[in-house]
Amino acid sequence: MTNNFLTTIKSLKLIEGCKAAQLYALSSVGASTSGSADSGVSSIGKPHPPPPPKAISMRSGSLYYPHAAPSTSGAFVPEPHLPCGLPVADALEPALDACLRPVDHVGALAASYRRVSAATSGADDDLCDAYLEQHALFQSIGDARLIRRALRAARVHADNPHRRAVLAAWLRYQRREDELDPAPPPLAPCTATTPLLECPRAAVFASVSHSVDPVCPCRRPPPPPVTPPPHRLRRSTSAAASEMSEEEEPETNDLWFIIGEEEVACDRSCIAALSKPLNTLLYGGFAEAHRDRIDFSRDGITPRGMRAVSAYSRHGRVDDFPPDIISQLLAFANKFCCEGLKAACDNQLAAMVRGLDNARSLIDIGLEEASHLLVASCLQAFLRELPKSLTYPDIARLLCSPEGRERLDISGNASFALYYFLSYVAMEQDMRSNTTVMLLERLNEFAEQPWQKQLALHQLGCVMLQRGEFEEAQEWFEAAVAEGHVYSLAGEARAKYKRGHKYAAYKLMNSVVGDYDEPAGWMYQERSLYCVGKEKLADLQAATELDPTMTFPYKYRACALLEEDNAESAVAEISKVVGFKMATDCLELRAWFYLALEQCELAVQDVRAILTLDPTYMMFHGRMHGEQLIELLRGQVRQWDMADCWMELYDRWSAVDDIGSLAVVQQMLAREPGNSSLRFRQSLLLLRLNCQKAAMRSLRYARNSSLHEHERLVYEGWILYDSGHRDEALAKAEQSIGLQRSFEAFFLKAYALGDSSLDTESSLSVVQLLEHANSCASDNLRKGQAYNNMGSIYVDCDMLDEAAECYGIALNIKHTRAHQGLARVHYLKNRKKVAYEEMTKLVQIASNSASAYEKRSEYGERDAARNDLNTATLLDPTRTYPYRYRAAVLMDEGKEEEAIAELSGAIAFKPDVQLLHLRAAFFDSMGDTESALRDCEAALCLDPTHGDTLELYSKASSTKADEPQS
């Protein structure tokens, strides 16, 4: 590894903003923002009308204030603007995370990587559990891609039909709105875009999970018929032949079973071959062995059922029998230990499960007869209809009650994974429900490993706290702490405080802060809840310094400033977090402050942004829907027609005002809710703001409301592309162009083709597609993006003059972000000072854009670069490049401890592969092999394929092996 770490860091940023893969419309400054394949959506189709004002949001992120007293400041708070009074700082309370939250994230990730590595050579059961543990750890990081990757890995290594069914259903639940058909039947055959790991047939019937045939069973041709053994080749297996009578085959009948008044003819040797007990009965020392007629009237089978047994004994198949006959065969097989017959019946009944109704009618048979596959298939149908299926009393009773758990366990279909999934869904729907409590109790019963016990106990504490059952909550949290989950101490303190023991709560959290040399930000935040005055503010400031991503300290400080009649400072404080995290509760709070300042236009802007992110969001203690507030303020804000809106959108887009642009589009959609083009633009804005879920919802709205086939194909193409189906997206674009040439169709095709490593000739063909796009009707907002993307491709092809021309055209039509591309061109022409000046123009326009400052830092001298990166960190502490740059500078200056501290401060709240890799390299250069290995393992837990880290890990491991043993 080179000693010049600053050079290494800079090399990681090479022309990041100018790659052909940056073609996505409205991509953010200096960072690629293509849609995530795992983005979820909360609703499909046309938007619902606003809920009634009495509905109360139980969303964990929404503000929850008691009835606030009217402002004491008087004149600047008119009552019509504040129908619910002002927020009260002391009534704020941060949400308690209902997930595993280790004190040492790096150590936990490294340990998880080692467990996965150790389990790789062992049983799949162990490996599946190891990946489920990773899934639980990734929940606290909050990265949807990591969470889904861990779940996929667990599904790959699931070792039986039950686990495969549970994990396939969970994967489907996470991605439930990605399919073009918004509401497919739960066990419908897979489409061409359905991931194989979600296939319901592969889940129940696949034999080896990690060697699954890449062709989905739903689309695989049927296998050739199996030739039965010679002694069973009697006749065809038609439905008519299934229930044979003695007249049909008199030469083979040497045994008759008497059932009531009927006799059923059988072949003694065929019946005896079904199981050892039947063979003993017919050929052993029993009296029946010497009889040709045996009374089976009391054995619980009908004559039709016995004829089916006889037929199966001859030809070995049950696929022509109706379900009621197969259920009789299943009971017969259990009674006489006919394993082959039971397996055949189990498979056939499981294959008959096609939906919720089938599953509800067949589940009792499966449970009574302990039919593993049938129960797994029925359970899969229930899971794929979550949360709706939990509204059925019979299903809820089976899944939630102790008796139901016992019945599922007997059939081999109860597990920690099952109740982990069920409780996850239940908590997402309603933390306070009895269903959630019961499912978590079942989860706790199946918890065996330490992390499982910690998770179940902590979540039970969180739910009880939400329900107001504080004594029980405290007991559950204490149990979680006893299992080693330190974060549950925060819940224990909350429960004590709610029970009136404020000093005990403070004392508990004070001891937590004192127990660690490097306390986490959440520890100070939790202690602040039990402090007052300067001590409280000092704790909140410490919390922000250690973890600037926590929103509660900003919200509290902002409300405290408002209470001091300093509304402008309150707005500035809450805007700090809104600048890098589009949180609805923070936007709501800022809107509240704007109302206090009588800045109704800005308040309505934030409310419209909230409605875009969550159309059902309830404001002001859950009392008022956003649309109602907008209507209430109608007389206080300007009313625009569509032409005004377009002009306003153009101005705000050029001013790099993303939230303002989002609000204008929402206002336009309020006038034209069926405008698919506006929905599409809304989705692009949301992607740039990193709101993947809301973006996918808007894109689906666009697809569903489109009146033209060629438009619908484009939107379907983007849905497919964002879901990871590039080739299918490209096909949709070509279909659309075949129907009608349009800007969006050519743009989609260009993006789909450009999202890969291209040679110069292929890149220029993408440019040609973008030129075709610009020859079609569109507006300057979209054409500016196309010219900007053309410039990026020309830069990649080293055609700098052509790139500069494209960027110049984009700037002439006020596509402001083209300053970034033009700066890159100047830099590549060795005009570093001009490049810096070009980026300064963008910084002046987008003064609150962290990425603009970050990109300008590449063209400034060291001091100027450091200042720009410090500003970028203040604006957006989640961006990792500034930390890496500053650490590299410190390392090059020989300040090793300061360099490590710079990285450690960021890693404490944002475990990141690049940060961990760089710190591991620092440790390695300092001779601290142990720490280097730990950071490498944590990084590889986040990304097992990261090449540089794998190389460093191999080197550090060799060094460790060569060290003399103490």
Q: What is the extent of the structural domain holding 897?
A: 880-965
Contact yes or no for 41/693 (Cβ under 8 A)? yes
Q: Which residue has the tokens 């869904």?
A: 425
In a domain, 157, yes or no: yes
**In the block, which residue shows the tokens 């704007």?**
594
Q: How confident is the model at residue 396 (pLDDT cuts 50, 70, 90)?
A: very high
Given a cut of 90, whether residue 425 has pLDDT beyond it is yes
Final residue before a domain boundary, out of 164, 190, 205: 205
- Asked if 447 and 456 touch (Cβ cutoff 8 Å), the reply is yes
Do 180 and 260 reside in the same domain of the chain? no
According to DSSP, the residues that pair with 257 across neighbouring strands are 264, 294
Nearest to 197 by CA among 138, 157, 248, 233: 157
Give the confidence band of 474 by pLDDT, cuts at 50, 70, 90.
very high
311 is a domain residue: yes
Q: Report whether pLDDT(760) > 70.
A: yes
Distance (Å, rounded) from C-alpha 592 to C-alpha 596? 6
Dist CA 127 CA 124 (whole Å): 5
Average confidence score pLDDT of the chain: 86
What pLDDT score does 39 carry?
Answer: 34
Q: Would you tell me how many other CB atoms lie within 10 Å of the CB of residue 604?
A: 24
* Residue 888 sits in the same domain as residue 952: yes
Q: Which residues have CB under 8 Å from 290's CB, separation 6+?
A: none
Spatial distance between the Cα atoms of 281 and 287, rounded to a whole number of angstroms:
8
Q: 352, 380, 401: which is the final residue of a domain?
A: 352
Arithmetic mean of pLDDT, 261-278: 92
Alpha helices by DSSP H, listed for 296-392, are 303-315, 323-335, 339-352, 356-368, 372-383
Measured between alpha carbons, how far is 88 from 86 in angstroms, rounded to an integer? 6
**Distance between CA atoms of residues 155 and 164, nearest Å:** 6
* 852 assigned to some structural domain: no
For residues 116 and 195, state if they share a domain: yes
958 token code pair: 């060799």
**Model confidence band, residue 178 (pLDDT cutoffs 50, 70, 90):** low
pLDDT at 186 over 80: no
pLDDT tens per residue, range 224-241:
544 444 444 444 444 434
**Which tokens sit at 677?**
């083009």
Proportion of the chain above pLDDT 70, given as a percent:
84
pLDDT by residue (tens digit) across 904-928? 999 999 999 999 999 999 999 999 9
- CA dist 157 and 122 (Å) reads 11
Query: Pairing mode, if any, of strands 618-619 and 293-295?
Result: unpaired
Q: Are residues 265 and 344 in the same domain?
A: yes
Q: Same domain, yes or no, for 272 and 187?
A: no
Instruction: Compare 13 and 926 and report the one with higher pLDDT.
Output: 926
Handedness of CA 100, 103, 106, 111 (dihedral sign): negative
Q: Look at residue 915 and tell me if it is in a domain.
A: yes
Q: Which of 296, 329, 352 is the last residue of a domain?
A: 352
- Burial of 7 from C-beta contacts in 10 A (0-12 / 13-18 / 19+): exposed
CATH number at residue 295: 3.30.710.10
Tell me: cis bond preceding 87? Omega within 30 of 0 counts. Answer: no
Percent of the chain with pLDDT over 90: 72
Of 18 and 254, the structure prediction assigns the larger pLDDT to 254
200 lies in the same domain as 262: no
**Domain contains 885:** yes
State yes or no: cis peptide before 229, omega within 30 of 0: no
pTM for this entry: 0.86
Burial 370-397 (b: 16+ CB within 10 A, else e): bbbbbbbbbbbbbbbbbeebbeeeebbe
Q: Count of domains in the chain?
A: 3
Overall size of the chain counted in residues: 966
Tell me if 828 is assigned to some domain. Answer: no
| Same domain assignment for residues 193 and 285 | no
Does 349 have pLDDT greater than 70?
A: yes
What is the pLDDT averaged over residues 96-111?
A: 96
Q: What is the reported pLDDT for 179? A: 64
Position 225 in a domain? no
Domain check: are 265 and 346 in the same one?
yes
E strand or H helix that includes residue 618: strand 618-619
Q: Is position 341 within any domain?
A: yes
